[in-house]
Amino acid sequence: MQLTWNDICADSSLQNLPYKIETNRWGQIVMSPAKRWHSKRQGKIAQQLSELKRGGHIYSELAVETSEGVKVMDVGWSSDAFDQAHSQEDTLTAAPELCIEVLSVSNSRDEIQEKITLYFAYGAKEVWTCDDKSRMTFYTSPTQEVAKSGLFPGFPSQS
């Protein structure tokens, strides 16, 4: 039996795991172990976004239903308009304007490229990645890197 995302979220045996849960295109659960550095970096990025932008909403561990399964970004930002349009969704059916992935050693290049492509396909305006040296890469399309963010031009290239 294939579980829905809501079934997975409601399953008490899957709560409080030290892993981030996503699904693949077949609805199978994929888990990635989170390390302290990863969580710390997520928090710092969210804090920096908060300091730079008035308005909108900052999220951590935000789930988006895609054609390739449910993907969970580490940090996201949406405008008030996006938040209002999707206020009834527990799992988003569209990506917010900004999606951020904090890279782990367990992430393959192909996995991250697929997520970047999916976030843009589902409406993201920008996708950022943060590597293990806290270096930020800003994307305005699946294949277009830019020197700085258009949404948050003051965000440092090294977080």
What are the tens digits of pLDDT across the range 19-38? 666 677 777 767 666 678 88
pLDDT number for residue 116: 98
Sequence letter at residue 19: Y
Yes or no: say if 136 and 126 are a contact pair by the CB < 8 Å rule.
no
Q: How confident is the model at residue 17 (pLDDT cuts 50, 70, 90)?
A: low
Domains of the chain: 32-146 (3.90.1570.10)
In sequence order, the 6+-apart residues with CB closer than 8 A to the CB of 89 are none
Strand stretches in the chain, DSSP E: 19-23, 29-33, 57-66, 69-78, 98-102, 126-130, 136-141, 144-146
Strands 126-130 and 98-102: parallel
